[in-house]
Amino acid sequence: MYKSLLRPLLFRFDPEAIHNFSYTAIKTGLKAPLSDKLSQKLFCLQDARLERKLFGLSFPNPVGLAAGFDKNAQLVDEMARFGFGFLEIGTVTPRPQPGNDQPRLFRLPQDGALLNRMGFNNQGVEVAAARLKRRTSNIIIGGNIGKNKNTPNEEALRDYEYCFDHLYDVVDYFVVNVSSPNTPDLRALQDKEPLRFLLQALQQRNASKIKAKPLLLKIAPDLNEEQLKDIVEIAVETKLDGIIATNTTISREGLKTTVASLDKMGNGGISGKPLGARATEVIRYLRRNLPESIRIIGVGGIMNAEDALEKLAAGADLVQLYTGFIYEGPALIKQINKKILEGKLSKQ
Ligand SMILES: Cc1cc2nc3c(=O)[nH]c(=O)nc-3n(C[C@H](O)[C@H](O)[C@H](O)COP(=O)(O)O)c2cc1C
């Protein structure tokens, strides 16, 4: 129903306006009487064979919502009802910031893709933390943290630490985001020395807490092999719990959308189908080169169940999606979990 009725209607309007409208629609729709039972039946699949134990956490299934959809933790209780095994909020920054000027989100329907240059628009970590404190569902939550646009890279650690401290009590794992293409110079923090410095310091802070939380790094798909090698080295050295591969790409290769249309849209990161193969390649590289103890969350271009299986087969322990949710609707999560049960990837 989503693809045949709802999507053609929604796709007629500005993508960001629809995104905001969908928030309200989801919130209101799921308050309706019997909606709880209905969403359980339509979207959820509970089966012990889907469970994944990693980072000392028990994920009821391996399909999560990627960062960026619920930046401000406004929809946690609602998204939990679409059958996800976990949700990632953020990216949050210490201070609220408006992000880049609109329009900053575009659809590329011929490519099954989105282009965004949101620029970490968010209400600030304290607002997100307060909302998470009030949540009623017990779904696993990842906190994706970043730095404010006007914080120079030399002072970035302070921003990450601020977010880490403010989310510490309300999230189950952390993601250090240094891979968004839409905050100027952010990706320079993926370079060997700044990355080592940042992760070492965050792990020290983590160790000073009563109980350390799993710390993951989210990387770009545009890194070359040399850079991926450095990432592996630092992940081992700083004892990361996992890597999330990948964020959106700045590559425009192989797109069906015309160059003229792309030029009109301007800068930004591409997500969805065109990203799929590269994200899988990065996952495969990481799995071959990381020790087993460092886990991988695979994300990028999961538009159907087969795409998710491909990521798992390449070595991902869990998967996440964003653009697939926009194009295919909430039924996709159950479809993926069903396919995992049918395939060889469920627990024996
Ligand atoms: C509109 C939009 C906003 C996003 N915002 C964030 C963000 O704030 N932090 C982050 O780590 N990733 C962000 N992402 C990247 C996604 O989490 C994901 O890594 C990427 O879109 C690839 O997955 P997909 O092909 O399933 O969309 C965003 C993606 C989109 C489309």
Residue 37 class from Cβ within 10 Å (0-12 exposed, 13-18 middle, 19+ buried)?
Answer: exposed
User: In angstroms, what is the C-alpha Rg of the chain?
Assistant: 19
Written as six digits, the tokens of 265 are 């849209």
Is it true that the peptide bond before 246 is cis, omega within 30 degrees of 0? Answer: yes
SS3 category, 46: coil
How far does CA 38 lie from the centroid of its chain?
26
Nearest to 136 by CA among 176, 175, 80, 68: 80
Q: What is the pLDDT of residues 131-163, one digit of tens each?
A: 999 999 999 999 999 999 999 999 999 999 999
Task: Respond yes or no: is residue 293 known to be catalytic.
Answer: no
Mutate to test the pocket of ligand 1, among 248, 250, 275 (most ligand atoms within 8 A of CB): 248
β-strands 173-177, 242-245: how paired? unpaired
**What confidence tier does 344 reach under pLDDT thresholds 50, 70, 90?**
low
Q: What distance in angstroms lies between residue 269's CA and the mean position of ligand 1's atoms?
A: 9
Q: What is the pLDDT of residues 285-319, one digit of tens each?
A: 999 999 999 999 999 999 999 999 999 999 999 99
User: What distance in Å separates the CA atoms of residue 337 and residue 345, rounded to the nearest whole number?
Assistant: 10
- Tell me what pLDDT residue 34 has: 67
User: Is residue 118's pLDDT more than 90?
Assistant: yes
Q: Contact at 8 Å (CB) between 307 and 283?
A: no
Q: Which of 35, 137, 179, 180 is catalytic?
A: 180
Q: Which of 80-84, 185-189, 223-227, 260-264 has the lowest mean pLDDT?
A: 185-189
Residues counted in the chain: 348
**Protein residue with its CA nearest to atom 15 in ligand 1:** 247
User: Is residue 102's pLDDT more than 60?
Assistant: yes
**Protein residue with its CA nearest to atom 11 in ligand 1:** 67
Q: What distance in angstroms lies between residue 248's CA and the mean position of ligand 1's atoms?
A: 6
**Protein residue with its CA nearest to atom 12 in ligand 1:** 67
- Tell me what pLDDT residue 287 has: 98
Q: What distance in angstroms lies between residue 208's CA and the mean position of ligand 1's atoms?
A: 31
* Residues above pLDDT 70, as percent of the chain: 98
* Mean pLDDT along residues 209-232: 96
Please give the number of the atom of ligand 1 that sits closest to the Cα of 113. Answer: 25
Specify the higher pLDDT residue, 177 or 7: 177
User: Is residue 348's pLDDT more than 50?
Assistant: no
- Tell me what pLDDT residue 120 has: 96
Q: Contact at 8 Å (CB) between 115 and 108?
A: yes
**What confidence tier does 105 reach under pLDDT thresholds 50, 70, 90?**
very high
DSSP character at residue 209:
S
Q: Which residues have CB under 6 Å of ligand 1?
A: 66-68, 71, 90-91, 105, 114, 116, 118, 120, 144, 177, 180, 218, 247-248, 271-272, 275, 299-302, 321-324
User: What distance in Å separates the CA atoms of residue 243 and residue 36, rounded to the nearest whole number?
Assistant: 34
Q: What distance in angstroms lies between residue 302's CA and the mean position of ligand 1's atoms?
A: 12
* Mean pLDDT along residues 44-61: 95
* Mean pLDDT along residues 194-206: 97
Among 172-186, 309-323, 332-346, the range with the most confident prediction by mean pLDDT is 309-323
- Tell me what pLDDT residue 125 has: 98
Mean per-residue pLDDT over the chain, rounded: 94
Specify the higher pLDDT residue, 33 or 50: 50
CA distances for 58 relative to 55, 61, 86, 206, angstroms: 8, 9, 10, 21
Spell out the alpha helix ranges (H) of the chain: 7-10, 15-29, 35-43, 76-79, 125-133, 156-167, 192-207, 225-237, 259-265, 276-289, 305-313, 323-328, 331-342
User: Is residue 112's pLDDT more than 80?
Assistant: yes
- Tell me what pLDDT residue 126 has: 98
Q: What distance in angstroms lies between residue 299's CA and the mean position of ligand 1's atoms?
A: 9
How far does CA 138 lie from the centroid of its chain?
19
SS3 category, 213: coil
Region of 346 on the Ramachandran plot (φ > 0 left; ψ -120 to 50 alpha; else beta): beta
Predicted TM-score (pTM) of the model is 0.96
**Protein residue with its CA nearest to atom 29 in ligand 1:** 68
